[in-house]
Structure formats: C-alpha cells, structure tokens
Amino acid sequence: MKILAFGDNLIDPEMLKNGLKSFEDRGDEIVIRDWSHPTTADLQRDNLKVEQEGPDSVKVDDALLKDIDSFDLIVTQFTPIGRKIIDSAKNLKYIGVLRGGIENVDKKYAESHNITVINTAGRNARAVAEFTVGLILAETRNIARTHAAMKKDVWLKDFPNKDNIPEVGGKTVGIAGLGHIGKLVGKFLEAMDAKIIFFDKYVDEYADFEKVDSLDTLIKRSDILTLHMRVTQETTHIIDKAKLAEMKPSAYLINAARAELVDEPALIEALKEKKIMGAALDTYMNEPLPADSPFLKLLNVTLTSHLAGSTADAFRNTPKLFAERFLEKYGK
C-alpha cells in the first residue's frame, strides 16, 4: 500500500514518521509532505475556514499533490481533502483523519467514490477531559478571575458565588454524553468524591456511574452539568432556554465540546439574570470570540480560547493510535 501523509504545525512530519512506523514495518511505502503554515495561528485560521465553509474553501498547493493518483491511503489532520483532491486521487481507497471530527474531508463525496473515511475517535480524550476538570475548578473556585484581578493589583474576594463557593466532593456531576471524554471526566471527578450521573441513550450502564432516564432528569439533579455530546441535528441547541430553566440556581454549566450544543443567547440571558450560578466555555458559535460578545461583560463565566484538545501529548500520540486502529481493521 502507498500512503501519503500530510503534516502540519501541530503534527509535524517527524511525528508522522514515528507514529506511522508500523505501516513501514510491514512494507508499506509512506510519503510525508508538510502543510505547515508560517504560524500555528495561520493554520488555525485556515482550519476554522474549512470547518465553516467546507474542505474546498482552502486550496492545497499543487506541489503537495504530486502523483496523488498513485496513493491508496491519505492521512491528514488539518489538510483539507475536498472534491478536487478526491477526483485526482484515482487509486484512493481510504482517507484517515487524525482527529475525532472529519470536517476537513468531504465524506459524502469520498464515499460516493468508494473511499472509506476513518477518523481517530478519542485521540485527545484525555486532553479534553483534564481540561474539563480545569474549567470546573476555575469557575467554581474563581481561579481564572482572581488571576486576572491579581494582574491588575486587585486582591479580589468578591465573586458571583461568594456566599456559596462549592467543593466538587459530595456534589452531583451530570455528564451529557458518555463517550471517551465523558468517561474520563467521570473517573477524574469520582476520584474527587463527586457523585457521577449520566445520560446517553447509546450507553446502558457504566461502572459506578448512575444512568438517568432522560436529559431533563440529568439537568434537574446536577450541581455541575458538563456536555460531551456530538453535534447532530438532534443535539444542536439541546441546551436551550427551557433546559437552562430546569437547572438549579446554584448549578454550573460546562462546555468544552461544541458550541452548537448550547443556545448561546439563552445561556447569556440565564447568566445575566443569574438563573444559574455560572458557566465555563471553551467553544463558541463565532470564533475567535468577537470583541463585542456579551460573554465578555459577564462576571459569572470562565472563557478559554478553544484549547481543550490541544496538548503536545495528544498530537504526538495520534498517528500511532490511528495506525494501530487502521491496521487492526483494514490491514489483514
């Protein structure tokens, strides 16, 4: 099998070479080409455009597509694989995406050409799960806002939750979506003596966690509600005004998954009117977050710049994880 792998600023050619070594060991030919940008910020801008406008919205230089018709498998993290590349790759049988999502690949068009598209589910699950715990602690314990105040020489003691600052231990944490990430979040917080409940219609039971019968029940019982669902037509704005009204006034909403899960105007209203205690968010409908975003004026929200899945360890380990899964399923 002949393999074309695209590196970038975050999974560079050396990481690809090391991670895909199991292909080389069995005699496959690997060609690695570099789609790195001048800066990581430039790469992220192109990636954001691809996610918003589709894989054909960003051009890949022709030099990177040399002999594209000779490859059986293309491996990519951010390099967009749109219709032009698919039409040119006459021998292509597989597209491997070194991410959980496949927004940079025209999956439907690829499959219409009998090309199998394979993602790397859970590749940054630990990174996102650890970050989620960080968001919970940052918001409930006022870590981020006191840091910002200290930088301004303010010894801050006045917080939105100053009369009821909680500990995670003993609280009920509701996990909406018990995939790779949700399971790790639950394990981490269970070790902190939280009670873990979850709702996921595709998971019947899991370890010591309690499954509840509906999202409404999950919301009503949770002191901390953390979202780990995929975005589908069914889950878009699944947390809307009505669902936010079901949360306890003392509860916190955490979203390190996808912005589309939450009706942002409804959340902003709930935070403004203090219908919930607070929220912590890593993802937004408009990114970068606009300077006039109402979120920036709220005191009871912790905001981060879409960082949850980005760790050196996650990027370094992804090619190896992909290779293992690919060869197990398709390498016989």
Instruction: Give tens-digit pLDDT for 175-211.
Output: 999 999 999 999 999 999 999 999 999 999 998 899 9
What share of the chain in percent tops pLDDT 70? 100
Of 306, 324, 325, 328, the catalytic one is 306
Q: What is the CA radius of gyration of the chain?
A: 22
Structure tokens at 297: 């004026």
Of 51, 210, 246, 287, the catalytic one is 287
Structure tokens at 120: 């790397």
Whole-prediction pTM? 0.86
Structure tokens at 28: 């496959």
Query: CA-CA distance, 94 to 323, in Å (whole number)?
Result: 13
Mean pLDDT of the region 110-123: 95
Q: So what's the pLDDT on residue 127?
A: 96
306 is catalytic: yes
Q: Can you say whether residue 212 is alpha, beta or left, with left for phi > 0 and alpha for psi between -120 and 50 degrees?
A: beta
Structure tokens at 112: 């219409």
Structure tokens at 278: 């607070």
DSSP letter assigned to residue 304: -
Residues in a beta bridge with 174: 197, 225
Of 145, 221, 258, 325, the catalytic one is 258
**Coil, strand or helix: which one is 225?**
strand
Q: So what's the pLDDT on residue 83?
A: 96
